[in-house]
């Protein structure tokens, strides 16, 4: 079981994704505003991001309290803190790098997709903060397993994958994306090491990852182009 996945991103004409480098744009109020308003038009209540992107929304790291060995088996079970939640901020965090003081990002319930690498103390911290979590693999997060757990636990029918490049690349490479919503701002970045729309981790695959079919195309103010694609 998996939700229908739309990857939604704003990039430069060369596919780079770091808005802090773009300066003032001619049309939209800001890249963030462009991203949020177009994402909202889908009416999808769940967004999934990679660790680096989620670090922008969580608390600063702090010292974790030790937990007793007796607590271990209970902590190592998936934890659904808010079964009735309707909106979700979902982070892939295989090593437990994100820390939480609250169980929400702008009203969206925080759900983390973890691997067994995370410590018991980290899991106890997530429970205390009211964050839901799923253990989805030994050392890495198995994205198929994660999507299955998410759809069953929260009856999730649709979700948006919203970066960064590594996370988008991982979902694309696993054949899990159904649709891509791609906004292009009239900026050429050119920085060789700057993250792109899809950065599949590890060695470059022999062939391109997917063929696409255009669903729709629109020009927005300020020369922003918005194309929606179905992944074939």
Ligand X SMILES: NC(=O)c1ccc[n+]([C@@H]2O[C@H](COP(=O)([O-])OP(=O)(O)OC[C@H]3O[C@@H](n4cnc5c(N)ncnc54)[C@H](OP(=O)(O)O)[C@@H]3O)[C@@H](O)[C@H]2O)c1
Q: Which residues bind ligand X (CB under 6 A)?
A: 9-11, 17-19, 35, 49-53, 92, 94-95, 97, 140-141, 162-167, 170, 195, 199, 201
Dihedral sign of CA atoms 207, 210, 213, 218 in order: negative
**Residue 98 CB, nearest approach to ligand X (Å):** 10
**Residue 69 CB, nearest approach to ligand X (Å):** 26
Nearer to ligand X, 18 or 153 (CB): 18
Nearer to ligand X, 201 or 221 (CB): 201
**Residue 17 CB, nearest approach to ligand X (Å):** 4
Nearer to ligand X, 144 or 158 (CB): 144
Indicate left, alpha or beta for 137 from its phi (over 0: left) and psi (-120 to 50: alpha).
Answer: left
Asked whether 100 and 47 are in contact (CB, 8 A), the reply is no
CA angle 112, 116, 117 (to 5 degrees): 95
**Residue 68 CB, nearest approach to ligand X (Å):** 27
CA dihedral 224, 52, 137, 73 (to 10 degrees): -130
**Residue 114 CB, nearest approach to ligand X (Å):** 10
Which is it for strands 158-161 and 46-49: parallel, antiparallel or unpaired? parallel
**Residue 167 CB, nearest approach to ligand X (Å):** 4
The CB-nearest residue to ligand X is 164
Nearer to ligand X, 132 or 162 (CB): 162
Nearer to ligand X, 10 or 156 (CB): 10
Nearer to ligand X, 185 or 231 (CB): 185
């Amino acid at each position: 079981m998996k939700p229908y996945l739309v990857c939604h991103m704003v990039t430069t004409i060369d596919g780079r994704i770091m808005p802090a480098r773009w300066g003032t744009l001619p049309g939209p109020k800001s890249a963030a505003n462009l991203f949020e308003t177009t994402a909202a038009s889908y009416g999808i209540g769940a967004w999934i991001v990679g660790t680096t992107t989620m670090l922008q929304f969580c608390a600063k790291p702090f010292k974790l309290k030790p937990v007793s060995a007796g607590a271990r088996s209970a902590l190592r079970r998936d934890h659904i803190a808010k079964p009735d939640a309707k909106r979700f901020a979902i982070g892939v965090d295989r090593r437990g790098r994100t820390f939480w003081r609250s169980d929400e990002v702008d009203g969206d319930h925080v759900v983390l997709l973890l691997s067994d690498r995370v410590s018991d103390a980290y899991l106890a911290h997530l429970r205390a903060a009211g964050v839901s979590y799923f253990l989805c693999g030994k050392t890495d997060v198995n994205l198929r397993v994660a999507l299955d757990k998410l759809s069953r636990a929260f009856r999730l029918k649709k979700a948006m994958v919203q970066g960064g490049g590594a996370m988008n690349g991982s979902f694309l490479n696993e054949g899990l994306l159904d649709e891509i919503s791609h906004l292009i701002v009239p900026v050429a970045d050119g920085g060789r090491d700057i993250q792109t729309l899809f950065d599949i981790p590890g060695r470059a695959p022999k062939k391109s990852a997917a063929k696409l079919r255009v669903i729709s195309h629109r020009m927005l103010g300020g020369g922003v182009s918005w194309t929606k694609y179905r992944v074939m």
